[in-house]
Structure 1
Amino acid sequence: MTSPVPAIVPTDPSRSRLWGVGSIVTTCLTAEESAGALGITHFAAKSGERAPKHIHTLEDEIFMVRGGQVVVTAGEETSKIEGAGVVFLPRGIPHSYLVESDTADFYVITTPGGFEKFFAEAGYPLDLGAAAPVGDRWSPARTQDFAEQLGLGLLWPS
Structure 2
Amino acid sequence: MTQNTTTTTTSRVSVVRETERENLWFLGDLIQPIITSEMTRGLFQLSLTHSKAGSEPPLHEHNGEDEIFYLLEGQISFWAADVAVTLNAGDCILLPKDVPHIFKVSPEAEAKWLVMSAPSGLEKFFRAVAIPAEYTGPQIGWAMDEETEQRLEAAAEEFNIKIIAPPGARPETTL
- Normalising by structure 1, we get a TM-score of 0.83
State the distance in 1 between where 2:39 and 2:18 align: 14
Cα gap change, 1:85 to 1:136, in 2 (>3 Å): same
CA contact (8 A) 2:156 2:162 kept: no
- Counterpart contact for 1:6–1:34, Cα < 8 Å: no
Shift of 1:32: 0.9
1:44 alignment partner, one of 39, 45, 50: 50
**Which of 117, 120, 135 pairs up with 1:110?**
117
For 1:38, the aligned partner's letter is: F
Provide the aligned C-alpha RMSD in A.
2.4
Name the structure with the higher strand share. 1
Tell me the TM-score normalized by structure 2.
0.76
> How many residues are aligned here?
150
Gaps of 5+ in 1: none
In structure 2, runs of 5+ residues without a counterpart are 1-11, 166-175
Match of 2:155 in 1: 146
Identity across the alignment (%) = 24
116, 124, 128: which one pairs with 2:131?
A: 124
Q: Which residue of the other structure, out of 83, 102, 105, is the alignment partner of 1:99?
A: 105
Asked if 1 retains the 8 angstrom alpha-carbon contact of 2:58 and 2:164, the reply is: no
4+ residue runs over 6 A deviation: none
Pair 1:133-2:141 in alignment = yes
In the TM superposition, 1:27-106 aligns within 5 A as: 27-100=33-106, 101-106=108-113
Q: 1:48 to 1:38 in 2, by over 3 A?
A: same
> What is the distance in 1 between the residues matched to 2:82 and 2:18?
37
Using the alignment, how far apart are the partners of 2:131 and 2:70 within structure 1? 23
